[in-house]
Amino acid sequence: MHKTRHFLPPLPEYEPGKYDLYHTKLRLVAVPRDHLKITYEFEKYTQPLVAATSNEAGRPLPLRDGYVVVPVHELQVTHIQDKFPEAEIFPEEFSLPIFGQQSVR
């Protein structure tokens, strides 16, 4: 069984069938630029996601200077808050519905 079927702390345990791994959300977090090693044109490629989430929220993403937007799976948010206190988690209104890519067979 794949590790995505077992939720590790600090994520609460979900009962089977209570979380739809096929239809989930893409969330955004902001990380200080000096805490990242950015290669190529990462920000150029994430800009369409930022624009789409801002459009869905009906307002611009409140990104502080010196921070970079990083898209994450919604199940990662709890771990990011726990392990990376310098990261800023944007409100859920700045999210997009996505299809899960991991095999769930």
pLDDT tens-digit series, residues 30-43: 999 999 999 899 99
Give the integer Cα–Cα distance in Å for 39 and 18: 37
In this prediction, residue 6 carries a pLDDT of 57
Q: Would you say residue 40 lies in a domain? A: yes
Q: Would you say residue 104 lies in a domain? A: no
Average pLDDT of every residue of the chain: 85
In this prediction, residue 1 carries a pLDDT of 42
Q: Would you say residue 30 lies in a domain? A: yes
pLDDT tops 70 at residue 99: yes
- What is the domain range of residue 64? 3-12+20-99
Q: What is the per-residue DSSP string for the chain?
A: --GGGSPPTTSPPPPTTSS-SSEEEEEEEEEEGGG----TTHHHHHHHHHHHHHHHHTS---PPTTEEEEEEEGGGHHHHHHH-TT-EEPPTTSEEEEE--S---
The structural domain count of the chain equals 1
Q: Would you say residue 105 lies in a domain? A: no
